[in-house]
Structure formats: structure tokens, C-alpha cells
Amino acid sequence: MIPTEDASARKREIEEKLKQEQETLSFIRENLEKSDQLTNGMVSILSSFESRLMQLENSIIPVHKQTENLQRLQENVDKTLSCMDHVISYYHVAKDTDRIIREGPTGRLDEYLSCIAKIQKAVEYFQDNNPDSPELNTVKARFDKGKELLEAEFRSLLTRYSKPVPPILILDAISVDEELDVQEEVVLEHLPEAVLQDIICIAGWLVEYGRNQDFMNVYFQIRSNQLDRSIKGLKDHFRKNSTSSGILYSPAVQTKRKDTPTKKAPKRPVYIPGTIRKAQNLLKQYSQHGLDGKKGGSNLTPLEGYDHDLRVKHLSDALNEKHGALAGKDDVLDIEIDSYIHCISAFVKLAQSEYALLTEIIPEHHQKKTFDSLIQEALDNLMLEGDNIVSAARRAILRHDYSAVLTIFPILRHLKMNKSDFDATLQGTAASTKNKLPALITSMETIGAKALEEFADSIKNDPDKEYNMPKDGTVHELTSNAILFLQQLLDFHETAGAMLASQVLGDTYNIPLDPRESSSASSFTSDFSKKLLSTYICKVLGNLQLNLLSKSKVYEDSALSAIFLHNNYNYILKSLEKSELIQLVTVTQKRAESSYRELIQQQIQDYQRSWVRVTDHLTDRNIPVFQPGTKLKDRERQVIKDKFKGFNDGLEELCKIQKGWAIPDKEQRDFIRQAQKKEVSEAYRTFLQRCANISFTKNPEKYHKYRPEEVEEMIERLFDTSA
């Protein structure tokens, strides 16, 4: 049971809490009443505000609509005024642009094109809205005038700034410095950049708005003229520099220049100036200095051992006269050929540059046609010049001047080397344009092959004219001409072989081909051409040998005939050995060298037989048998006298005759002299020993005229025209 005191305390505590809760409840009720009062006041205020807002809205909306209508009306008025101003401006375009159009676009192209654009819009407006108005005719006339002046400006800019490319720059462009790993390409700038941009701008406008392609004709006519002038300028450069200094800066001569814009050296030589003249110069050198080759500027390898003092008299007068008459003409011809070769390279380079320029100015679908027209004049001139060279060669062949074919070889080789560049440059042009170069190549190959064949026939059929034979038995002009001609082919052996192959001469020569060659078209062509050229050279040499054999019969003296054949065969062999001709000959004739050596030895033996009539008097035949101190009979003494007299007379006669003969090859001359000295002196000494103790005359000095040493000296002077 809880004590009374604790219950009372607990009760008081509960009563206090209850009182506090009642006070809190009263406070909450008071606050709720105040909140209700505030809510009712706010509701009343909002209701009043809503009522007033509705009244305001009803008053503002009509005003807003009226304002909006007024703004729309204002905009319409502004647009109408703007349109009126725009339309009115079309009526003033002609007047506003009159001064600028009249003065032209020079110096203010952008402003001028802006005026043209205004005129064009006016034309379009009047065409759409008032096609019958006089203003349309006015602006049309003004537009046509503006377009006309733009076309005139296009022509003027092209004409004023299109200049021929300087020859020096062209030569730099077609040259390559082989010492540089990275080649610095020479850029041919045809037009200043600012001018080029104006031309491009005008061309673009004419294409888009002018609707006129006449400017393309203007373009190709002007640029075609400059292309042709550039090439002609290069030709003039060659003529002037060649005649003044004799040295050409070109791909044909590997030299370096210091006065060019770029540090470039020419590429590998494609043609050495003077090729055509070389054979004639060598013939002149041969006639003046023998075969030693000590003088003159030819690059023909001299034949070692040929004596400087032995002249080839039968050539001298004729060749000196011919050389004097033709020297100037040949110099000009060499310059023209070298110039033509460089013009071919220049045309390719310039045409490529022209096409690059054209692509910036002419619309793409007109570029190929315009380029075709642009290059025609220069290309036609080059092809015409090539045709003239072919015609000149053809006329020369008709005159039997077969050295003229040498003008064809360097050009033909260069054309073939550059054909791929030609084809790439002319890609997209008309078929007639593309076929011009192949046609010229074919023409040159045809005339060249014909010249080669006729030259071979001329060697075979050269007449045996007695007055044309060398009196001293030295090398015949026909031999030297034939060898020199063949040596010129060495510079162009690939071209010559291909030339023969192109004419399908394989059937004529009946060359056996290695079956392995058919596995590769390129090797087949190269080997086949090499065999053709080898067979051709062998044919010429064979014809030459037959003709020389026939000519040798003109000589009444068989010994001189042998000397003549010996000299010619030896000259042929030496020439073959000292050049690459022997390598070509042995392609089809393995024993060529040994065959010529056998022929030379045979002629030496034939010559030595001429001394039999001298040495025959020194034999034992008819010499009497006697004992020392035995007196000879008159008949026996006469036999010995006759032998001495026969020997002396024969020796003197042969030495007198053969001293005027010539053996230009010192080695061969010494060999023949030594062999003859040995044979004659040995027989003479033996004869003298046999007759030493024989008293066959009271005047022995009358018969014993020469000592053996004197006989040897006489033989030593054989073949010496200076003795």
C-alpha cells in the first residue's frame, strides 16, 4: 500500500501538469481564432483584387489589339517603301554604274564586278516584271557593254603579262643535276600571281554569268603564241650561243653554268653536238695526219702505231676541198639538230606547265579541248621541222650521201626517250594530235632503215675506178668511210638495232633466235635488235671485203694489190679492236678477229712473193761447181755475173717502186721490213760467201755493188714516202 504522502505528492504533480496542458490548449485556441481571422481577411482582399484585375483586363485588351494593328500597318508601310526604293533603284542602275562601266575594270576588278552584278539584277527584274519597258533595253545594253569590257580586260591581261619563257629558264627546267639526291624542280611562272587571280576571277564570271566561251578561244590563241615564241626563242638562243662560243648549255653537254637562276647541271647527254660532222672531220684528219689520230678533236679512238708521216694522198685534195665547202654548212646542221632535240624536251616541259596554268582558268569540261588547240601551233612546227629533217635525209640518200642518216639517229633516240612524257602530256587530246609523234618516229625509222640498207648496198657496188685508187696502196676512201660510218652507229646502237627491227628485217637476215628470248618481250626486243645490228655490220664488212678484193685487181702489180688489201684489212681490224664494234660483230661472227688476221697474213705472204724475182738470183741454181783456185770458163763466169746483175737490178727496181708504197701501221710496217730484211740479207750473205773466192771478173765492184748492210738499209727505207 502506497503511503499517503507519496499519493498526495503524486496528485499535486498531476494536477500541475494538467493545469499546464490546459493553458497550452487555451493558447492554441486563441492562435487558431486569430489565424481564421487573418485568412478571412486575405480571402476578402484576393477577391477584391481579382475583381479589379478582371475590370483592368476588360479595359486593356481592346487597346492592345488596336496597337497591334497599328504596328502591322507600320510594317507594311515600311516594306512598301523599301520595295519602292528597291524598284526605283533598278531605274537608276544605268545611271549609277555608267562611270564605272565606262572606265572599265582595270585596277578595280572587285568594284567593277559589283556594278555588273547590280546591272544583272536590274535586267532580271525588268525581264520578270516589265519586259516591255525601255529601261530593260538600257540595262541590257549596259550589261553587254560590261561583259564586253571584261572580255577585253581578260584579253588585255593575258596579252600584257604573257611573255615567252626565257631560254635560260627553259634549259634549267629540262636539266637535272644528277649529283643531288633531291631534285629542285624549276617552276615556270607564266603570269604574276595578282594578275593570275584577276584572270581566274574574270574567267569564272564569264563562265557563270557571261555564258560565252569566246574567252577560251582568246586564251588558247594568246598562250599558243607564247608557247611557240618560247620554243623559237630557245632555237635563237642555240644559234647565237653556238656561233659565238661554240659551247652550248644543254642536256646534250654535261657542263655546269654559273649564270642561271638555279644551280642545276644538265642531265646525261642524249646527243653530242657535231655527230654528223664528226665523220667528215675524221676523214679530213685522216687525210692530213695519217691514221695516228694525234690531231683534231674527234673522239674516235686513234689506231696505235699508225705513222704520222705517212699521208693518205688520194684523200687529201678532195676531202680538203669538200670539207672547206661543207664545214660551215655542217656546223649549222649540228646546231639545228641539237636545237631541235632540246626543243622537243622544252615542248614537253612547257606544255605540262601550260596545262597546269590552264586548269586554274578554264572550266574542267573544256580543258582538254582548249589544251589541244593551245599546243597545236608549236607541235605542228616541231613535227614540220622533223618532217623537213626526214625529207632532207631522203634527198641526201637519193644523192648517195648516206652520212645524212646520222641526223636521224640522235633525234630518233631522243623522241623515243621522251615518248612516254609526250603521251602523258597529250593524254586527253584528239587522236590526230596524239598520233603526230608516233608518225614522225615511224617516218624516221623507215628512212633510217632505208639509208642503212642502201649504204650497205653502196659499199658492195662502189665502182672500181682506177683514178680513185690510192697510188701507194694505202687505205681506200671507201674503207675509211665505211668504218667511220659504222663507228657512228656505236653512239646509237640501240636506236639503230630497234630501227632495223621495226622494219621487220629479221626475215631478210634469217637470224636464229634463242627460244629463251620469247619469255620476255623486253629482252627479246633488245637481243633481237642487237643481233640485227650485228648482222648488219657484218653485212657491210662482208660487202666491203668483196669490193676491196675487186678493187685490188685494178693494180697491175700483184704486190701492190697485196699491200692495198693488207692495209685495208689491217685498218678494219684495228678499227674494230679499238672500238666496241668488235663486240657487236662477234655477236653473230665469233671468228671475226681471227679471220681478219688470216687475211692480213695471207696478203703479207702474197707481197713477199714479189721478192722471189730478187732472191731467185741468189739460189744455187746454175752456179757451177768449182774448186778454190780453179779457173772458171767464160760461160760459168757469165752465170755469176748475171746473178749479181739480176739481183742488183731487181733490188734497185723493187726498192724504187716500193719506197713509194705506204703501210701506215708502224707495227705492221716494221714487221714486214724485218721479215724481208732477214730473208734477203741471209740469202745475199750466203751467196756472197759462196762467191767470195771465185774470180769471175776483173771489175768485182761493178757487180758486187752493195754490202749486206746496205741492202738492209735499202729495205729499211721501203714504204717511206719521206725518204
* Rounded Cα gap, residues 477 and 474, in angstroms: 9
pLDDT tier for residue 51 given thresholds of 50, 70 and 90: confident
Looking at residues 401-427, what average pLDDT do you find? 89
Does residue 570 surpass a pLDDT of 90? yes
Question: 75: exposed, middle or buried (C-beta count within 10 Å: 0-12, 13-18, 19+)?
Answer: exposed
Q: Is the pLDDT of residue 91 over 90?
A: no
Residue 355: predicted pLDDT: 94
**Does residue 294 have a pLDDT over 70?**
no
pLDDT of 28: 92
For 352, counting Cβ atoms within 10 Å of its Cβ (0-12 exposed, 13-18 middle, 19+ buried), the class is middle
Cell numbers linked to 460: 658492195
pLDDT at 52: 84
Average pLDDT over residues 340-364: 93
CB-CB neighbours of 148 under 10 Å? 14
- Residue of 265 and 171 predicted with greater confidence: 171
pLDDT for the residue numbered 403: 80
Look at residue 595 and tell me whether its pLDDT is greater than 90. Answer: yes
* CA–CA gap between residue 482 and residue 537 (Å, rounded): 10
- pLDDT of res. 627: 60
DSSP structure string for 104-134: -STT-HHHHHHHHHHHHHHHHHHHHH-TT-H
Say yes or no to pLDDT of 245 above 80. Answer: no
Is the pLDDT at 123 greater than 70? The verdict is yes
The pLDDT of residue 669: 92
Residue 665 DSSP label? B
Above 70 in pLDDT, residue 172? Answer: yes
Across 184-205, average pLDDT: 86
208 and 120 Cβ atoms separated by less than 8 Å: no
Q: What is the pLDDT of residue 331?
A: 60
pLDDT tier for residue 308 given thresholds of 50, 70 and 90: very low
Continuous segment of H or E residues that includes residue 64: helix 4-103
- Report the C-alpha gap between 442 and 430 in whole angstroms: 19
Identity of the highest mean pLDDT range in 78-92, 156-170, 510-524? 156-170
**Predicted local distance difference test score (pLDDT) of residue 94:** 65
Q: Give 619-630 pLDDT, tens digit per residue.
A: 877 666 666 566
Q: What is the pLDDT of residue 248?
A: 44
What is the rounded distance in angstroms from the CA atom of residue 572 to the CA atom of residue 482?
9
Does residue 31 register a pLDDT over 80? yes
pLDDT band at 489 (very low <50, low <70, confident <90, very high): confident
Res 87: pLDDT: 63
Q: At 557, is the pLDDT very low, low, confident or very high (cuts 50, 70, 90)?
A: very high
Residue 38, pLDDT > 70, answer: yes
pLDDT given for residue 81 in this prediction = 65
Mean pLDDT of the chain: 79
- Among 38-47, 186-195, 263-272, the least confident range: 263-272
Is 340 in contact with 411 (CB distance < 8 Å)? yes
